[in-house]
Amino acid sequence: MNKDNPSGKENAYYNHIIKIIKENEEFLNSNKKRKKIFSEISELMLDAIDYLQGRDFTKDPKAYFVFNALMPFSQGIYISILSGNIASSHMQLRLLIEYLALCAHAEKVDEEYILDKLEKTRKKFEKSVGGMVRSFDLNAFGLWSASSRWFHAKSHSRKIEKIVTHDKLKLWQIIQPAPYDKDDEKELTEFARNVKAFNNIINGYFNQQHK
């Protein structure tokens, strides 16, 4: 197939993606509660650049975290939420939690350059990611543990079965992208609450280091 001349099916799917994203953006701005949900998620992305100011990327683990994790994954979460991919949003938030814990521990390592700090930290916690997160921050560990329901196949499948049994089948469980409806507010509210909690952890960590 000619890559410069995509087929009608590809064009149709592309147009469908754009259509769903626009519909979901309208949904997330359609009332006060949904706007608050969307605002919490957007804030994570919009605040990322502020954390980079005045930091040396070659030596500062905080700068490494923002540039290599917070910026791309918060943008990824924003895109995932707009496309109806709630599971992907939880997975990326979990990665952000792990990255923050990794970089926080690396900051304590007595090495000049960031790559050396990170490598020593990775070796220290190579057998226990959970231990790395727990020893960084108990609130972060709570969020990280809760996200396993979305991250691992066994727990994710149980969660999906529970939703189907007690609620109803959600479109985002079976197709992507997926349009939201009012019955999705429960999962969106849960995710926005987790994002807000993570934002508080980031703010607390960065501000603490400047006292």
Whether residue 112 is predicted with pLDDT greater than 50 in this model: the reply is: yes
Domain boundaries, the chain: 8-208
pLDDT band at 211 (very low <50, low <70, confident <90, very high): very low
Query: Which pTM value belongs to this model?
Result: 0.87
Mind giving me the DSSP string for 66-123? IIIIIHHHHHHHHHHHHHT-HHHHHHHHHHHHHHHHHHHHHTTS--SSHHHHHHHHHH
**How many Cβ atoms sit within 10 Å of the Cβ of residue 143?**
20
8 A C-beta contact, residue 61 and residue 104: yes
What mean pLDDT is predicted for residues 129-154?
Answer: 88
* Percent over 70 (pLDDT), the chain: 86
pLDDT band at 91 (very low <50, low <70, confident <90, very high): very high
**How many Cβ atoms sit within 10 Å of the Cβ of residue 100?**
26
192, amino acid identity: A
Residue indicated by tokens 């070659």: 58
CA distance to 1, 79, 117, per residue, from 205 (Å): 51, 26, 18
Q: Measured between alpha carbons, how far is 85 from 38 in angstroms, rounded to an integer?
A: 14
Whether residue 1 is predicted with pLDDT greater than 60 in this model: the reply is: no
For residue range 149-192, what is the model confidence (pLDDT) as tens digits?
776 565 556 666 665 555 666 777 788 999 999 999 999 999 99
16-20: list long-range contacts, CB under 8 Å, 24+ apart.
Answer: 16/177, 17/83, 17/177, 20/83, 20/84, 20/177, 20/178, 20/179
Q: Between 202 and 52, whose confidence is greater? A: 202
**Euclidean distance between the first and the last CA atom of the chain, given in angstroms as a whole number:** 59
For residue range 23-73, what is the model confidence (pLDDT) as tens digits?
999 999 999 999 999 999 999 999 888 888 778 778 899 999 999 999 999
Q: From 143, 156, 104, select the one nearest 125 (Cα to Cα).
A: 104
60, amino acid identity: D
Q: Give the pLDDT score at 64.
A: 93
